[in-house]
Structure 1
Amino acid sequence: MTLRNFFTFGVLAASLAACATSPLGRQQFLLLPANQVDEMGVTAYAQMKEENPLSSSEQQTAYVRCVATAITSTLDDSQQWEINLFQDDSANAFALPGGKIGVNTGLLKVANNQSQLATVIGHEIGHVQAQHSNERMSLQYATQGGMQVLGALAGADSAAKQGVLAALGVGAQYGLTLPFSRKHEAEADIIGLQLMAQAGFDPRESVSLWQNMSAANGEEPPEFMSTHPSNSTRINGLEARIPEVMPLYNQAKAAGRNPQCG
């Protein structure tokens, strides 16, 4: 076998090994081991806590942790989740591989009740459940060079580091996978609806949450949603899916899952 043929065979074998399926049945290309992506998420989260202040409000922090824990406790895994409230006026939240969740205080001004907050947290956990970070980084790994991607978080701020942070869901906007990112958003919306419903949060409040977002930000989506679907597109998509998840919500209530997070 020639060197060229060996290389071609290796790439083909890696591609076949990387085939996976999302929770909604979509075919995925995942090159990186899940535990490696988890380590990246943990590293990025630690850096964020060093660089961004946490909220001093014990009441608000307990509220956010109550909502997030109600969702994570229903997940079929043994992951221990760390949940923190960051002092930041932007209406933002994120979840990272490795069991890390962050909510900004600004989101609490838009999410008017526990089910609306659960809409966003469920959506962000949906990204983790569907391994969207791995998918984004696998593309970077294949097109930009593996070692550059894997070592980016440990280095100084650079385009490679920003790319990895963006792939994890906490970095600046980048253009390479913009259409694909919208596909991820739609998938995370559906998974998030399922997660909040099975935790006992009213999925119908997801529409109200995005109506609030639209009112707060006019025609443009929030800055952190710059690569996401428009508010009207997202609301229409959620409304179409709510009848599918209402049985999960009713089953949760019948089973005694009735979060009282304030």
Structure 2
Amino acid sequence: MTDQTTRAKTFAALHQKGNPVILYNIWDAGSAKAVQDAGAKALATGSAPVAMAQGFGDGQNIPMDYVLDNARRIIGAVDLPVTLDFEGAYATDAAGISDNVQRALETGVIGFNFEDQIIGTKDLFDIETQATRVAAMRAGCDAAGIPAFVNARTDIFLKAQPDTHDDAMLNDAIARAKAYSDAGASGFFAPGLKDEAMIGRLCEATDLPVNIIALPGTPDTATLAKLGVARISYGPVPYRKMVAWLQEQAAAALG
């Protein structure tokens, strides 16, 4: 068993409903070492902070080679499992997704965030199309011989204001969770979902570990655990707080 396979299995085992793994998202080797030293059990990049730290906007504006080089440096600097926010895998077709996943796994990452929004638009892939894409990502992992954790993300809730979230959206998310699970997903990510009742219903409706992002207004860790969440991530929040602090300190120094 390779070290990468061992790390992948260790990472998957951290996802327990009611006892969520906390992923305080990082963006480079320095932030990865800092979060590791703070006591993290695993590390996760965030696409937005990785891009912004290199002067790019989110949404696959940063070249894939930059993303993979960055991941390689992170993995070389830490001892923990590292999962990669791979956005839309920089491809729309199954062959491209599978190929890019295999390239990404060569860096040593042991998992992926993989989203269902159509990059550069406000739209989502329909369920059938995205399930095919998830299956292509799983096929790429299988071809590489790594049991990577595919965290299938839906942007249903992130693209709508929280006060507009309703049963129709939740039912769509539950249908997507089932389809993505059947296609080989390891987990289901619903960023932007903040309503306690809806989070609880989503966790009950799928066997997949559910990932919620700790954006402002989201229930606290203890509440999310009680609702059955298995993974809590922080997305761009740590980077934005760091930049705000840096600007404040620079302004004070510059007078």
TM-score range, shorter chain: under 0.3
Higher relative contact order (CA 8 A, sep 6+): 2
**What TM-score, normalized by structure 2, do the two folds share?**
0.25
In terms of Rg, which structure is larger? Answer: 1
- Return the TM-score normalized by structure 1: 0.24
